[in-house]
Each structure stands twice: as C-alpha cells, then as structure tokens.
C-alpha cells in the first residue's frame, strides 16, 4: 500500500473526520516508519515482475487448487455411476416386492424393507 | 501492516496480479486505490494469521513480537524497530484498522466498508490499538 506523505501534518482526513491528539501523535511516528519500511521492503522492477506474472498466469498453482480440480474431475463419473446403481437397486426392490406380493408401502418397496407387522415383531424365533 | 520484509514485495505483486485478473468484475463502485487497498488488506490479514499460527507453534507466544522483526528490519533504525515491535503487539484486526485509518488516512466509514465490519467496531478497535500504542510510542514522538 502506498504511503501518502501528504497526510503528515494534516489534521483531518478526506471525510472531514479529525484525528485527536493521541491519534496525531501516533501518526507522526507511524507514517515515516511505514515509508522507510516500504523503501527497504519493495525490490526494484516491481512493474516488470507484475507484467511477467500477468503474462504467465496459473503457472504456479497451490496444492489446494490442484486437489479441488482433481475432485471436480472425479465427481461427475462417480455421481453418474452412483445414480445408475441407485436406479438399479430401486427397480430391483420394487420388482421383488411385486413378485413376492409383499403388502408393503411404496417407500418400503423402494427401499427394499421387509414387511414388519406387530405379529412378526413379537415372533420369538432365531431368524 | 506487515512491517518490513520481503513478504511485502510478494504481497504487492500478488495484489496487482489479482487486480489484473479481476478487472472484468471491477464495477467501479469504489476508486481503484480503495479496491487495491482492500485486496492488499485481505492478503495481509491472511499472512498475519498464518504467521501468528506458525510463530506460536515454533517460537512460543511470548517471543512472537520479537520474532516478527527478524525479516527485513536489520537495515532499519532503532526507532523504527521499536515502532514495528509495538505494531506487532497488536492483533491482526487492530493492525488493519490502524493502517487504514491512521496511516492511509481513510475515514472511519471507509475503513469499516473496506474491512466489512461495523462503524462502531472500527472505533473500538482503533481506541484499543491507540491505547496500546501510545505508551510505547510516546517517547519517540518529536524525534
């Protein structure tokens, strides 16, 4: 971020909010320190480096980006296979329920649940 | 906000690259300077949070303020080292407010908008930050 030296000695900002005495005192120390830090921190030829980075986009990609891209690539075939499997299981369950004439509801037949009556629930067998 | 060090140059470069890449989505609601500052502050906050986590892990909480100064501050005068040590003692959120409000000179309202926080939150963070800084920086004022 650029340091606007014009703020030094200015007792207010662009919206007319004034700085109190404490804030002004801190600004007097902070702004020159920030200016000097910027001078030693920014290497020369920044514009050249930015242009070079812009011309070669997406060369360096983070590990997270690569991982998410591979997840997206995997997602479509996995989702399609899962849908086909679910459709096969549902049709098999519905067909079986009709074939054995099980008196179950539609949701039970879709999910392949066995008919449970009060009588079968209390049946004390080892099955 | 980040203090002296090579990371500042990397962030600066990233800010301009991100700005270039997001030019199509830039609607001009705010000035280019404000837009660039917003990107820079967000990137700086990310770095400060990561830096804090790694310093806590490897250095220990008490030494983190000193450890932050290792990179890039050797060429600075003692006065600046004291300033950056005081800044390092602030939380990331307080640093963002101090940078935008006191160094860059944005209004409280603009600072709140840029950081995505409430007006009152800016004032309270600024007040806490000033209270922390004034004792450390008072001897340096007028030097």
In a domain, B59, yes or no: yes
User: What CATH number is given to the structural domain containing B38?
Assistant: 1.10.10.10
pLDDT digits (tens, 9 = 90+) for B81-113: 888 888 888 888 999 999 899 888 888 998 998
Question: Contacts of residue B94 in chain A, CB cutoff 8 Å?
Answer: none
CB distance from A40 to chain B under 8 Å? yes
B37 at the A interface (CB within 8 A)?
yes
Residue range of the domain that includes B65: 6-140
Query: Which tens digit of pLDDT belongs to each residue from B8-47?
Result: 888 889 899 888 888 888 887 778 888 888 899 889 888 8
Judged by a CB distance cut-off of 8 A, whether residue A8 touches chain B is no
Q: Any CB–CB contact under 8 A between B96 and chain A?
A: no
Q: Note the pLDDT of residue A60.
A: 59
Predicted local distance difference test score (pLDDT) of residue A120: 73
Residue B100 included in any domain: yes
Residue B41, domain member (yes or no):
yes
Does residue B37 fall inside a structural domain?
yes
Token code pair at residue B31: 């000035």
> A17 to chain B: which residues are within 8 Å by CB?
107-108
Is B119 an interface residue toward A (CB < 8 Å)? no
pLDDT of residue B122: 93
Q: Is residue B25 part of a domain?
A: yes
- Please say if the pLDDT value at position A27 is more than 80: yes
Q: Which of A38-42, A44-48, A56-60, A105-109 has the highest mean pLDDT?
A: A44-48
| Lowest mean pLDDT, pick from A25-39, B51-65, B70-84 | B51-65
How many domains is chain B partitioned into structurally? 1
Contacts of A4 in chain B (CB under 8 A): 104-105
pLDDT at position A11 over 60: no
CA quadruple B58, B61, B67, B68: dihedral positive or negative? positive
Please check whether residue B1 lies inside any domain of the structure.
no
CB-closest option in B8, B107, B142 to A14: B107
Classify residue B130: in a domain, yes or no.
yes
pLDDT at B121: 93
Residues of B in contact with A15 (CB under 8 A): 107, 109-110
For residue B24, tell me if it sits in a domain. Answer: yes
**DSSP-derived secondary structure for chain A:** ----GGGTT-SB-TTSPBP-HHHHHHHHHHHHHHHHHHHHHSPS-HHHHHHHHHHSTTSS--HHHHHHHHHHHHHHHHHHHHHHHHHHHHHHHHHHHHHTT----HHHHHHTPPP--HHHHT-----
A64-73, A76-85, B26-35, B56-65 — which is least confidently predicted?
B56-65
Could you report the predicted ipTM of this complex, rounded to two decimals?
Answer: 0.75
């Amino acid at each position: 971020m650029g340091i606007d030296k014009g703020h030094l000695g200015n007792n207010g900002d662009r919206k007319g909010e004034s700085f109190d005495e404490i804030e002004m005192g801190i600004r007097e120390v902070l702004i020159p320190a920030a200016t000097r830090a910027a001078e030693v921190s920014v290497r020369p030829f920044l514009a050249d480096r930015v242009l070079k980075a812009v011309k070669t986009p997406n060369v360096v990609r983070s590990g997270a980006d690569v991982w998410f891209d591979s997840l997206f690539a995997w997602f479509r075939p996995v989702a399609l296979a899962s849908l086909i499997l679910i459709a096969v299981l549902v049709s098999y369950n519905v067909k079986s329920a009709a074939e054995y004439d099980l008196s179950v509801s539609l949701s039970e037949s879709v999910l392949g649940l066995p008919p449970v009556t009060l009588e079968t629930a209390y049946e004390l067998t080892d099955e | 906000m980040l203090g002296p060090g090579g990371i500042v140059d990397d962030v600066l470069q990233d800010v301009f690259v991100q700005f270039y890449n997001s030019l199509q989505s830039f609607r001009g609601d705010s000035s280019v300077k404000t837009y660039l500052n917003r990107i820079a502050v967000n990137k700086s906050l990310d770095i400060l949070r990561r830096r804090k986590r790694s310093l806590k892990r490897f250095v220990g909480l008490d030494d983190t303020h000193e450890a932050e100064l290792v990179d890039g501050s050797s060429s600075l005068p003692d006065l600046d080292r004291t300033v950056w040590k005081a800044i390092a003692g602030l939380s990331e959120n307080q640093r963002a407010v101090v940078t935008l409000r006191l160094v860059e000179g944005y209004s409280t309202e603009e600072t709140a908008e840029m950081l995505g926080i409430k007006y009152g939150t800016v004032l309270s963070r600024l007040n806490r930050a000033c209270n922390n800084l004034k004792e450390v920086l008072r001897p340096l004022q007028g030097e």
